[in-house]
Amino acid sequence: MSSKSPPAPLDYLRRWPLRLWIAGVAFFLYAPLVTLIAFSFNESRRNIVWTGFTFDWYAQVFQDDALIEAFVNSLTIAAISTVISVILGALVAVAMWRFRFPGKPVFEGLLALPIVVPEICMGVAMLVFFSRILPWPSDLPWPLDLGAITIAHVSFSFPFVAVIVRARLLSFNRELEEAAKDLGASEWRAFMDVLVPHMRPALVAGALLAFTLSLDDFVITFFTSGPDTVTFPVKVYSMVRFSVTPEVNAASTLLILITVVLTAIGLRMQGKDIARAEGGA
């Protein structure tokens, strides 16, 4: 007998049918992605038979100015919309948490709308808005020409940030703020010195979510982008429409890499942040 005991009744993970099931699910989720990554290094254009290792497709990606531009656009939009979303999301979360005001339940419902409304509906609404009400000039210098897309991204991102920050605020001990005021801090100082540090992990998580949502969005961007303001997903979409090419594989692999790195950074920062906020203080 080995020193391992048989599984306890709720150790579902140690039962083979469930292990098999999880392995199957993991295969289902990852096999297409792994295949995609593998064939971004394949010499053959036809993609299915492995003919040899190459970086050619990556070289092609880096020489494709349109793709690079789309990529830079995506990152720029994500960065700007993240900053605005975090500010707006944090403000509204604090306002909702702190104050009682007439019509609050209605406002709460409206704030949840961007989260639940189907993307396609929001996309067409933005299309109409930016072509009829607030036509966004297309000849503005970069990055101002990305304004319409950025605004649309903020609109669907900041309510998500608000949800995360509000959840965090629930665990705030109001006596801390009262103590700060008792010790002479002004409203503003108390906010910055006590409340903001408490919100920090949520702000980081919210920023990460906003960034990913923006980078990930295809549908809404598809309806707000013009011919000169193409983002990475929109560009890849137009490439995919035509054919499956190793170049798209290479570009996608780069995006997956960015996702993995961002996730890793996010998990690290959040882990440290929470440790610092809860344990260190």
Among residue numbers 258 through 277, which ones bind other proteins (CB under 8 A)? 259-260, 262-263, 267
Task: Give the residue from 237, 261, 259, 264 showing the smallest Cα distance to 248.
Answer: 237
Q: Is 216 in the site for other proteins (CB under 8 A)?
A: yes
Long-range CB pairs of 240-247 (<8 Å, 24+ gap) are 244/47, 245/45, 245/47, 246/39, 246/40, 246/42, 246/44, 246/45, 246/47, 246/57, 247/57, 247/60, 247/61, 247/64
Residue listed under structure tokens 């990055």: 143
Q: Is 118 in the site for other proteins (CB under 8 A)?
A: yes
For residue 42, what are the β-bridge partners? 53
**Can you say whether residue 52 is alpha, beta or left, with left for phi > 0 and alpha for psi between -120 and 50 degrees?**
left
Structure tokens at 173: 């001990």
- State the number of binding residues for other proteins (CB under 8 A): 91
Give the Cβ contact number of residue 93 at 10 Å.
26
Give 138 or 263: the residue with its C-beta nearer to other proteins. Answer: 263
- Which of 59, 120, 144, 183 touches other proteins (CB under 8 A)? 120
Residues 50-79 close enough to bind other proteins by CB under 8 A = none
Q: Is 10 in the site for other proteins (CB under 8 A)?
A: yes
> What's the min distance (Å) between Cβ of 63 and other proteins?
21
- Which of 167, 183, 196, 240 touches other proteins (CB under 8 A)? 240
Residues 150-189 close enough to bind other proteins by CB under 8 A = 151-152, 154-155, 158-159, 162, 174, 187
Q: Is 190 in the site for other proteins (CB under 8 A)?
A: no
> What's the min distance (Å) between Cβ of 53 and other proteins?
18
Q: Is 106 in the site for other proteins (CB under 8 A)?
A: no
Give 140 or 281: the residue with its C-beta nearer to other proteins. Answer: 140
Q: Is 255 in the site for other proteins (CB under 8 A)?
A: yes
> What's the min distance (Å) between Cβ of 262 and other proteins?
7
Question: What DSSP element (H or E) covers 11?
Answer: none
Distance CA 34, CA 11 (A): 30
- Which of 52, 105, 132, 184 touches other proteins (CB under 8 A)? 132
Q: How wide is the angle at C-alpha 130 spanned by C-alphas 255 and 149, nearest 5°? A: 15
